[in-house]
Structure 1
Amino acid sequence: MQKMIFINLPVADLPRSMAFYAALGFTNEPKFTDETAACMVWSETIYVMLLTHAKWQSFTDRPITTDGSSALRLCLSLESREAVETMNRVAGESGGTADADPATDYGFMTTRSFADPDGHIWEPMWMDPAAAEQGPPAEVNA
């Protein structure tokens, strides 16, 4: 089996969250979806498990935070600057919050950030393929 990542997120309203992620281009995997959880697929190796609060709490006694604190930022690489802009815009139009943090543009790389309806922060990004191979330009590290 290839290495994969399954991101587990607690959500207050499962159908709303499924619709939000579908609007961003994720697809639902019905084999791993029921009334307590939904598997939303980003790629062959990246899956987001949306879990109702009751389902989430069956895995941990830790509280679900809803105070706007930040402990995690999920970054997705996209194929172009335009795709980054589009994902951020669609997130805002689909029940999330566009531009949850200021955008960055380093020339060789650009990012935006949005919050999903439950406040989970995502950061779509694009990086010039040459920079991905060689590392960032020297002036960025100065």
Structure 2
Amino acid sequence: MSKMIFVSLPVTDLKASMAFYQSIGFKNNPQLTDETAACMVWSEAIKFMLLTHAKWRTFTSRPIPPKTSSEVMLALSCDSRDAVDAMNRAAAANGGTADINPVEDHGFMYARDLADPDGHALGAMWMDTSAIASADKAG
């Protein structure tokens, strides 16, 4: 079995959160989805588990942080700078918040941070890996 990561996130409104994640490029896996949880697929190796607060509490008694806090920022790779911008626009149009931090543009890397409807921080980023390989050879 290949290694995978399942990111579990507590969400206030499961259906709204599913719609948000679909709008920014995730696909739903209905085999791992019910009225308390939804598996949203970013890639073969990366899946987000959106959990209602009641479901979340079956995993931990730790408090759910408020929308205004950040515990982790999850960077999602995109195919182009335009795809980064499109994800940010889709986030804002579907209940999230665009540009929660200043835009980062380093030429070879471009990133814009956003938040989902529950305040979970995500980074949409594009990187020109050939520029990094060239810098490694030159160094």
Structure 2 Cα separation of the partners of residues 65 and 102 of structure 1:
23
1:130 positional shift:
1.4
For structure 2, the 5+ residue unaligned runs are none
1:56 positional shift:
0.4
Residue pair 2:67, 2:118 contacting (<8 A) in 1 also: no
Matched residue pairs, number? Answer: 137
Structure 1 Cα separation of the partners of residues 134 and 55 of structure 2:
43
Query: For structure 1, which segment, 67-76 or 57-66, has the greater mean C-alpha deviation from structure 2 after superposition?
Result: 67-76
CA 1:91–1:59 in 2, change beyond 3 Å: closer, same or farther?
same
**Over 2 Å off, 4+ runs:** 131-136
Residue pair 2:20, 2:96 contacting (<8 A) in 1 also: yes
Structure 1 Cα separation of the partners of residues 10 and 81 of structure 2:
29
Provide, for residues 46-69 of structure 1, a one-character-per-residue CA deviation record: whole Å limited to 9, x for no partner: 100000001001111100011512
Residue pair 2:69, 2:119 contacting (<8 A) in 1 also: no
Read off the aligned partner of 1:42 and give its amino acid letter: W
Read off the aligned partner of 2:97 and give its amino acid letter: T
Instruction: Report what 1:16 is aligned to.
Output: 16
Instruction: Say what the alpha-carbon RMSD is for the aligned residues.
Output: 1.5
- TM-score by length of structure 1 reads 0.92
Structure 2 Cα separation of the partners of residues 72 and 35 of structure 1:
26
SS of 1:25's equivalent? coil
Instruction: Report what 2:73 is aligned to.
Output: 73
Provide, for residues 1-57 of structure 1, a one-character-per-residue CA deviation record: whole Å limited to 9, x for no partner: 100110100000000000111111111101100010000011111100000001001
For structure 1, the 5+ residue unaligned runs are none
